[in-house]
Amino acid sequence: MLTNKKVLVTGADGFIGSHLVEKLLSHGYDVRAFCLYNSNGSWGWLDTIPSSITDSIEIILGDIRDYASIKNAMINCEHVYHLASLIAIPYSYIAPSSYIDTNITGTLNVLQAARELSTARVIHTSTSETYGTAKFVPITEDHPLSAQSPYAASKIGADQLAISYWKSFETPVSILRPFNTYGPRQSSRAVIPTIITQIASGQNKVKLGALSPTRDFNYVTDTCAAFMAVANSENTLGQVINSASSFEISIGETASLISKCMDKDIEIISDEERMRPIDSEVNRLYGDNSLLKRLTSWEPEYGGIEGFTRGINSTIEWFSKPSNLSKYRVGSYMI
C-alpha cells in the first residue's frame, strides 16, 4: 500500500472521483485533487464532504484539456488516477467534439506529462460502453470493441492512446474498465438516481427510457476499491481490466427493485426523449471480473442480487435526505 505518498485524482470533483478521494484519504494517502476550473471556485462534490476531510486535500483547479495545467498538477505525484472525462452519452450526440477534446486530448496530456515526469503509475479510466452490446457473456477483456455512441468512440480512442504509451515508451499505465457504477452523488442523468429521485419527490409515475437493456451495476465503493487494487499491483501494468460485479439485471427489473425498497407503487412511463437512437442503445452489459480478481486481491462487496439490494438501499438513503434531494432537478431530463 502506497500510503504517505502523494497521489493525484483527476475529475476529483465528480461522482466517482470524490468517493475515490475519500477512500484514498482513509487509507493514509496524501491526496491532490484536480477539479475543473470555474469562476465560482466550486470543488464539485468535494464541497459536500465534511471540512474535517477536505482540509487535508490539496485542491487544484484546472482543465484536463490544457497540458500545462495538468502537468503542473502531476508534479511530485507517485500515482495518477485519471478519471476526468465527459461521460453523458446523450450529450455526446449534441457536442461530440467536446468529447474528443476532453476524453482523448485530456488523456494524451496526462500520458505525456507522466512520461516527462517519470510518474510511477497512471491508472486510466475506461468504460464498459467501449464493448457495445455484448456479443458473448460474461464480457471479458478480449471482447471486441464497438463504439455505439460518440462517447464510446472517444473512450476507445483514449484507451488506445494509453496502451500505445505503454508499448511505445513503457509509460507505466493500467486501464480500469468499470461497468455501470452507482451510489450517492451520482448525476440524475443516470438511471438509478433518475428512478430514486422521482419516487423520493412523491411521484408515482416514473419517466424512463428503454426498460429491456441489462446492466452490470457496481456500487461506487467497489469501483474505488478496484482503482486502488490495480494501482498497487505490479501485475496490472499494461493491462486492460474489467471492474464488474458479474451480475446482470434489466432496467425494468431495477426500477421494480427500487420501488420495492422504497415501498412505493409506481407506474413507468416511456419517455421518447430518454430513448437512445436504436443502433446506439447498448442492449446488454454483463462483465467478467475474473482477471481483476486474479491479478489483485479485489473482491466485490456488493455482488449478486443481495449485494445490489444493499447498495440500492444505501443509495436510496442518501438521495432521500432533503438536503441531498434538493441538489437535483427532479423530473427534468438531464443529458
Name the grid cell of 16: 466517482
Longest dimension (CA), the chain: 57
Catalytic member of 29, 99, 151, 302: 151
Report the distance separating Cα 304 and Cα 328, nearest Å: 29
Strand partners for 147:
none
Strand partners for 79:
7, 121
Strand partners for 214:
250, 284
Report the distance separating Cα 259 and Cα 199, nearest Å: 8
Angle made by CA atoms 38, 226, 135, in degrees to the nearest 5? 100
Name the grid cell of 70: 495538468
Q: What ranges make up the beta strands (E) of 231-330? A: 240-243, 249-250, 267-270
Residue 52 class from Cβ within 10 Å (0-12 exposed, 13-18 middle, 19+ buried)? exposed
Strand partners for 281:
none
Which amino acid, residue 202? Answer: G
Report the distance separating Cα 230 and Cα 232, nearest Å: 5
Which distant-in-sequence residues (6+ apart) come within 8 Å of 237 by Cβ? 121, 166, 172, 173, 174
Residue 213 near residue 255 (C-beta atoms within 8 A): no
Q: Give CA separation, 165 vs 161, 178, 229, in Å.
A: 6, 21, 21
Residue 151 a catalytic site member: yes
Q: Reduce the secondary structure of 27-42 to three states and give it as a string.
A: CCCEEEEEEECCCCCC
- The values of phi and psi at residue 287, to 5°, are -95, 155
Catalytic residue numbers read 151
